[in-house]
Amino acid sequence: MQNPFEAAQIHEIVREGLAQVLGSSVDEITPDATLVADLGAESLDLVEFRFEMETKLGVALPKSNVLDLLATALGGSEQLYDERGGISELAAEVLRRSAFGYSEEQVHAGMRPYEVAAAATSAHWASFTHAIFDHLPATCTECGADKAELAVSGKAVCAGCGAALEAATGDEVMAEGVRAALEAIGHAQPVG
């Protein structure tokens, strides 16, 4: 099924959710504002934001992060960090190719993992959340229809019968993104 959301729609929902959680106005949540440094989000705010998004959209946002999944895919984290604990060029490249859509300015080799986490903006979360809806089932398990639409509730439903649709989880989308990035870079992965 095709993604029933436009990227801008998801970004609007993400901005509204952040504004609500942070007690700020939607106008303050600009695409470039980092959630932690610019908007002052604390970890509890981010937990609440995740819950808001998951409830509103009926999705599971990732519980892992890209670096951990990359370590799993490579069978260890030796290639991910330099001797000072900064991320390697390989790690930076995989992060930039992830569905978060980091630019070279935002994520580069030598950054510490906490700096990568702190670089996240509403645009990154919108981009990732939108990508989750690129992973809807091929057809509805209830009626076999192959088209999704948005219900009045704002959730993605089957256009044939209105059944709720379950997209892949954020962790699945992230793991697939890591595999695809490694393949695109031409990096050999362990067999298995």
Which residues would be at the binding site for Zn ion (CB under 5 A)? 140, 142-143, 145, 158, 160-161, 163
Our CB check for Zn ion shows the closer of 145 and 150 to be: 145
Query: Phi and psi dihedrals of 121, rounded to 5?
Result: -120, 175
Token pair of 90 as six digits: 């390989």
Output DSSP code: residue 51. H
Minimum distance of Zn ion from residue 151's CB (angstroms): 12
Chain centre distance of CA 74: 21
Q: CB of 141: closest distance to Zn ion in angstroms?
A: 8
Nearer to Zn ion, 113 or 137 (CB): 137
Buried b (16+ CB within 10 A) or exposed e, 30-67: eeebbbbeebebeeebbebbbebbeeebbbbbbeebbb
At closest approach, how far in Å is the CB of 133 from Zn ion? Answer: 16
Q: Which of residues 66 and 157 has its CB atom nearest to Zn ion in the complex?
A: 157
Q: Of 112 and 147, which has the nearer Cβ to Zn ion? A: 147
Q: Which is nearer to Zn ion, 14 or 165 (CB)?
A: 165
For the bound state, the minimum distance from the C-beta of residue 86 to Zn ion, rounded and expressed in Å, comes to 49
Based on C-alpha coordinates, what's the Rg of the chain? 18
Rounded to 5 degrees, what are φ and ψ at 70?
-65, -40
CB 31 within 8 A of CB 121: yes
Q: Minimum distance between the CB of residue 147 and Zn ion, rounded to whole angstroms?
A: 9
Calpha distance 57→36 (Å, rounded): 23
